[in-house]
Amino acid sequence: MARMHSRAKGKSGSTKPVKKVIPSWVTHKPKEVELLIVKYAKEGLTSSQIGIRLRDAYGIPDVKLITKKTINKILKEKEVQKEIPEDLIALIRKSIFIRKHLEENKHDQPAKRGLQLTDSKINRLVKYYKSSGRLPVDWRFDSSKARFYLD
């Protein structure tokens, strides 16, 4: 698979173990795991932070093996899912940091290019989330109001 904005090729990310069996050391029941997920979501953690906390503190290697549902699906069922998806928030945050950098360094051409690429990714992701129903159809990314999306 090629990279998005370059001609480079390569593998990205890690692969999960092939074994699809609940490990013997996991003693938590699916209902307990769901309650933990909801508890951490109410504390303000994102879905990836919840997964890391469950892995490190409770020894739960994969929520989907135990509950047969993903963390996002559980959050959606319990109606504690955030309105803007986590990956979109990360890109918006990156865009804000680049804009702040460009205010101080107006002639930084690589940063301008990085901002263009980041905004393109944001627009592509917004288009996907609108078509999948995760975002409202009239939702728009406005760079001048981007700081309000992070609250």
Does 116 share its domain with 92?
yes
Does 73 share its domain with 103?
no
Residue 126 belongs to a domain with what CATH number? 1.10.287.10
- The verdict on residue 10 lying in a domain is no
What local confidence, expressed as pLDDT, does residue 123 receive? 95
Contact 85, 75 (CB under 8 A): no
Does 70 share its domain with 105?
no
pLDDT (tens digit per residue) in 107-142: 999 999 999 999 999 999 999 999 999 999 999 988
For residue 80, what are its two tokens? Answer: 């504690």
pLDDT (tens digit per residue) in 3-30: 777 777 777 777 777 778 888 888 999 9
pLDDT (tens digit per residue) in 26-73: 899 999 999 999 999 999 999 999 999 999 999 998 999 999 999 999
